[in-house]
Amino acid sequence: MRKDVRKITEGAAMIALISVFLLIDRQFAGQLNVYFAWIIPLPIIIYTARHGFKAGWIPYISVVIISLMLATLPSIIFAAMYGLVGLFYGLGVNKKFDNRTQFLFTSLFTTIIYFLSMVLFASFFGYDMGDEIKIVTQFLRSMDVEPIASENNVIRLVIVVTIFFGAIIEAYLLHIFARILLSRIVRITIPPSTPLSKFKFPAYIGYILMALLFMWPLVTQLKLNPMWQNVGYSLFIFSMITIIVHTFIFLSVIQKRYRIHTLIFTAILSLLFIPTIAVYPLMLIGLLDIVTDIRQKLLGVKKNA
């Protein structure tokens, strides 16, 4: 009896937390969920991790019903979609899935949500890719960048790649905050995470990324048709973003090891204010980390340790 009362009380508390978020979001005209929608799954994750997948459906359905009464239409859609993320993440915690699997499925779900928001529910969120393309085109013209073949298609592909990486970053934030809440506040035992210093792409991935960097100059010099130019440019952007992300992981490890507190901050500022100059040194650092043992040497770790 006491266990059932506690379960009901905890469920009501989790629903109340999400309801408060929805009310605050309504006061901000639905803008809060644009940046912080990943907060919605956290209470459902905690409840499902403690009481199981079947029990987790009750607060999830309750949240959807309450959102119909309290929230705006975009917030209702976000509550329904992100609530499912929390439900299945909590299932993974309850069933003791490893962290890599948890992060993989979270990334998959957030990517699907991003693309559904961008395509299927675009009108509800006030998003128009055509307007985005016009803004980027006007910015390029203001920077005296010459038009390229099928420029709109290239910009569209770049926007899609950027949205994909945004979904991965959001999945990472959700994963980290869920681990903090589960381990330090709720005191649920979860598998230990892999230290950031051990995250590193295999060398062959680095060589593949280097090869992709040459796709755009190659198709340009060969003067291939616009379709292949779009493919080459998209692969170039994808490779560049992936290497830059790996660079920041490497710099964060070095910052912690040598206590250089402004290293990441300086790198971000340089990328924002002088991107055409800073991007290539940052890419070089990332590639060196992938294809060489520079990280082991800087950290003072032997290769076979």
Domains of the chain in start order, with CATH, are 1-193 (1.10.1760), 196-305 (no CATH)
Which of 129, 119, 7, 124 minimizes the C-alpha distance to 58?
Answer: 7
The three-state secondary structure class of 31 is: coil
Q: Which two tokens stand for residue 45?
A: 């994750």
* Amino acid (one-letter) located at 138: Q
In angstroms, the CA 297 to CA 302 distance is 7
> What stretch of H or E contains 67?
helix 53-70
| pLDDT value at residue 277 | 84
Given a contact cutoff of 8 angstroms between Cβ atoms, the answer to whether 136 and 148 are in contact is no
Q: Which two tokens stand for residue 189?
A: 């035992």
The three-state secondary structure class of 289 is: helix
In angstroms, the CA 175 to CA 43 distance is 13
The residue behind tokens 């076979």 is 304
What is the pLDDT tens value at each position of the chain, 305 positions in all? Answer: 667 777 888 888 888 988 888 888 887 776 777 678 888 899 999 999 888 888 889 889 998 998 888 877 778 888 888 999 999 999 888 888 888 788 888 888 888 888 777 766 666 666 666 777 777 777 767 766 666 666 676 677 677 777 777 788 888 888 888 888 888 877 877 777 667 667 788 899 899 999 988 887 887 777 777 667 767 777 787 788 889 888 988 998 998 888 888 898 898 888 878 877 888 899 999 999 999 999 888 887 544 44
Which of 126, 120, 113 minimizes the C-alpha distance to 83?
Answer: 113
* Cα end-to-end distance, the chain, whole Å: 54
Which of 75, 280, 89 minimizes the C-alpha distance to 182?
Answer: 89
Which of 152, 150, 158, 159 minimizes the C-alpha distance to 137?
Answer: 152
